[in-house]
Chain A
Amino acid sequence: MAGGGTPHSQDAQLHMAIDFRQESNPSFQVTLREFEGPLDVLLHLIREQELDIYDIPIARITAQYLEYLRMMEAVDLGVAGEFVLMAATLMEIKSKFLLPRPPAAEPDEGPDPRDELVRRLLEYEKYREVADLLGDHEDANRLLYARTVEVDVSDLPPVPSGTVSSVDLLTALKRVLEEVGEGRAPITAIPRQKVTLRMKMSEMFRRVREFGGRMPFSAMFAQERTRTHIVMAFLALLELIRLGKLAAEQDARCGEIYLSACPEPEQEQEQAQ
């Protein structure tokens, strides 16, 4: 962001941009403070010049703001759309002040066109203050090192059920596919097997129920030997979870996923038979 070796034409532009605050100097470096957005710039202009935020001199601030945008362009920062939008907002407010008022209008009649902007600035300033505070906390806390050793998953309190995402399930499926490998069973003949989702669903559901309690995801695929079967089993599993027949739980991030049958009236009847 320093304009040390800028081409001559750009240099001239920089001189112009800076002239309004600083006497020109044959050669100098320009450092622009990094701002987080248009609100950040405006707040800085207001606070630095100790202006009354409830009575912003809109013409002056608009001019300074546009000057800043020109500076950004001059040092090739590129001006994001948000900055341009704010420039338009400022000019709109300014234009409202320039319009002649109807003679009947009282000086304090109607909302001040600056109100909305002031409200946003004050709101933003509060969060900026919290951000500074968090930064202080971060600095202090970076000096403290906690243990980073991993402990056994079973020691951790379980993640509440329903927090297993489809991504977690896919990761687990990938692990199973890698573990099983295709065609581990010797293939002597290739019987054409018809696998339907419905078949797999009842098979998978039965398998979980017979297992009793929480069945590890990896164990679900122990009997599947081909990619087709694994994929069908996985689809069946997704469908069973979607229908609320099975519940998936995970004790830790990237840990084993456990499946258990959800209690439902139908199931109890079946068990009674």
Chain B
Amino acid sequence: MTREELRRGIECLLFVSDGPLGAREMSLALDTPEELVAEAAADLVARDPSVSGIVVQAVAGGWQMVTSPEFAVAVARFVGKRAQRLSKAALETLAIVAYNQPCTQAEVEFVRGVDSTGVLKGLIDRGLVQEAGRKEGPGRPILYQTTQEFLVYFGLNSLADLPDQAELEARLADAPERMEAAAAGGPQEGAQLPLIHVEPAAPDA
């Protein structure tokens, strides 16, 4: 099979699949070595996004077809409401689990400094976190880990896509500049707001 044929073959498989497909699964179906499949799939990811409404995304160690972000509004209108955005507490909890997995609820709570029972339950219900056995020791607490769905949800190819210790410190060192940039662009969600924001009330308030 030529590389061009392989690309089209991969497109067929991705089209009929309802989740990301790995190089191994596709190599079996296409009867082609995994490395060639992976190369051809990478071609599809790198393809000019303006030629099609469907783009190929590398995610969770595999590939999947997704709609072009350009038409997100139209697709949203057609599909209807999506699951709610995750709360800041949920994102924090996921970050802690992702870096320390498998880890216990107590470990999450120690870092966050707040009770995380509800947050963890919500993440399990959404399939982003799952139980991973029990920790040996007093009380044998339940261990948690992130799921494959976690990678898909955030469009990550693997956990290695998250910044490592050094990258994180570098990001934090840059933080003041980013805050200034955000302030210049006006207030926006997630940007650092002043602790107490006081503004004149409407006359009738």
Contacts and interface: CB of A to CB of B under 8 A. Distances in A.
Given A31-B199, A146-B65, A126 B91 contact: no
A130 B88 contact: no
Interface residues of B, number: 59
Contacts of A101: none
A35 to B, nearest CB: 9
Contacts of A86: 113
Interface in A62-87: 68, 71, 80, 82, 86
Interface residues of A, number: 60
Nearest to A25: B200
B154 A137 contact: yes
Contacts of A135: 86, 88, 91, 190
Interface string A122-156: 01111111111111011111111111111100000
A157 B148 CA distance: 14
A131 B92 contact: yes
Interface in B164-190: 168-169, 171-172, 175-176, 190
Contacts of B115: 80, 82
Interface in A32-73: 32-34, 36-41, 44-45, 47-48, 50, 68, 71
Interface string A18-36: 1001100101111111101
B196 interface: yes
A137 B65 contact: no
A29 B198 contact: yes
Given A126-B172, A138-B154, A144-B72, A48 B199 contact: no
